Amino acid sequence: MIEKVYPPSLYNYLWYIRSNPTGNRILDCGAGGCDPKLAFFLENGFEAYGIDISDEQIKDSEEFSAKNNINLNIIKGDMRKIPFDSGFFDYVYSYNSIFHLSKKDSRVAINEMHRVLKKGGLCYLNFLSVDDKWSKEGEEINPGEIITKEDDEEYLHSYYEDDEPDSYFDEFEIIYKEKIHIHIGRYYNTGRSCILEYITRKV
């Protein structure tokens, strides 16, 4: 057993999954890194798969897996073109990853998540709110799309009005939606102060 506490949002998603059982195959889009959230679902009995576009992030997740003697099945892949067959997964999620896509690409990625989900399957996503404390930092290249620099690298972050992401879910049923304000502290292990969360069902 991996002794760590995962983000509360994932426990909430797990509760919805348990209340809406369709199978046990789950995909994490943006699964790499030194603290892979996919381990939470593996430990809860799911058949876990992940994709990540970054070789470095995949390497970090492999080191985590080796240290904890687990296999997270994380491969190189882009959530805008998910390398799995249609209807392959019961559940899909992306935690703190779709932040880095443009709004146009976010729509493409969500359509791909819809494609690989079985009918009735659930999808969890979180978005940055325009009320986040960093939403005005950097160069705005399109409405709500901000480029920031860190260690000479440029990063894109997309920020949304309260109901703006709703339009991405025309082929889903929105079953949970929350705007989370962090007044003291931070959103799990990020510096974020305001997040929009969605859990949707493929119809």
CATH number at residue 104: 3.40.50.150
Length of the chain as a residue count: 203
Helix (H, G, I), strand (E, B) or coil at 98: helix
Owning domain of residue 185: 78-202
Tokens 């997270």 belong to which residue?
A: 72
User: Is 172 contained in some domain?
Assistant: yes
User: Is 91 contained in some domain?
Assistant: yes
Question: 15-44, pLDDT tens digit by residue?
Answer: 999 998 999 999 999 999 999 999 999 999
Q: Is the Cα dihedral 144, 8, 87, 173 positive or negative?
A: negative
User: Is 43 contained in some domain?
Assistant: no
User: Is 68 contained in some domain?
Assistant: no
User: Is 145 contained in some domain?
Assistant: yes
Instruction: Give bridge partners of residue 92 from the DSSP assignment.
Output: 27, 123
User: Is 99 contained in some domain?
Assistant: yes
| Mean pLDDT score, 166-176 | 97
pLDDT, position 1: 67
Question: 77-97, pLDDT tens digit by residue?
Answer: 999 999 999 999 999 999 999
| Cα separations in angstroms, 35 against 82, 98, 119, 191 | 22, 17, 30, 16
Q: Say if residues 38 and 74 touch (Cβ distance below 8 Å).
A: yes
**CA-to-CA distance for 173 and 166, rounded, in angstroms?**
10
Domain count, the chain: 1
pLDDT, position 186: 79
pTM exceeds 0.85 for this model: yes
CA atoms within 13 Å, Cβ hemisphere of 35: 10
User: Is 110 contained in some domain?
Assistant: yes
DSSP structural state of residue 78: B
User: Is 51 contained in some domain?
Assistant: no
